[in-house]
Amino acid sequence: MRRKRDEKTRFAKRKQGIQLNGLHLIGDLYECACERDLLVFAANPLKQVRSLCERSGLTVVGERAYEFEGGGYTLATLLAESHVTLHTWPELDRVAMDVYVCNHTQNNIEKARGLARELVELFLSSRPVIKEIERGEIGEPHVTLLA
């Protein structure tokens, strides 16, 4: 019964045009001065990202990492609120970061921003470039661009 009532509430909010989607942070962390292993091997960062997410009040529901031959990795942490991904280039002292949170049941924007700041600190980036993209209002026209 509760699920149907929640769906009705969300539908009513959508009809009123209330923004429910969330915030997408896309970052390039340049000049990372952290320990080299943090950029080369995924095991420790995987644990640290989980801890940072939980400390930020986000809910980790899964995680996976893939290490590349010669160093570097891709890491994905799935959140009940959405996801965090990291891609490292040790030879460039660089990390590409993606943090996306939905505001489905509560406003998670400050949690996402705080997590992004923590990731900048974790990798000791002296030149972080982070773009914020507000994900649109419910009811906004959906546009698909194909190349």
Q: Is the C-alpha dihedral spanning 73, 74, 80, 81 positive or negative?
A: positive
Chain-centroid distance, C-alpha 88? 15
Residue 114 phi/psi, 5-degree rounding, is -65, -40
Helix or strand holding residue 33 (H, E): none
What is the C-alpha to C-alpha distance for residues 120 and 126, in angstroms, rounded to an integer? Answer: 8
Active site residues: 82, 87, 102
Structure tokens at 145: 């661009």
6, HSE (Cβ side, Cα atoms, 13 Å):
5
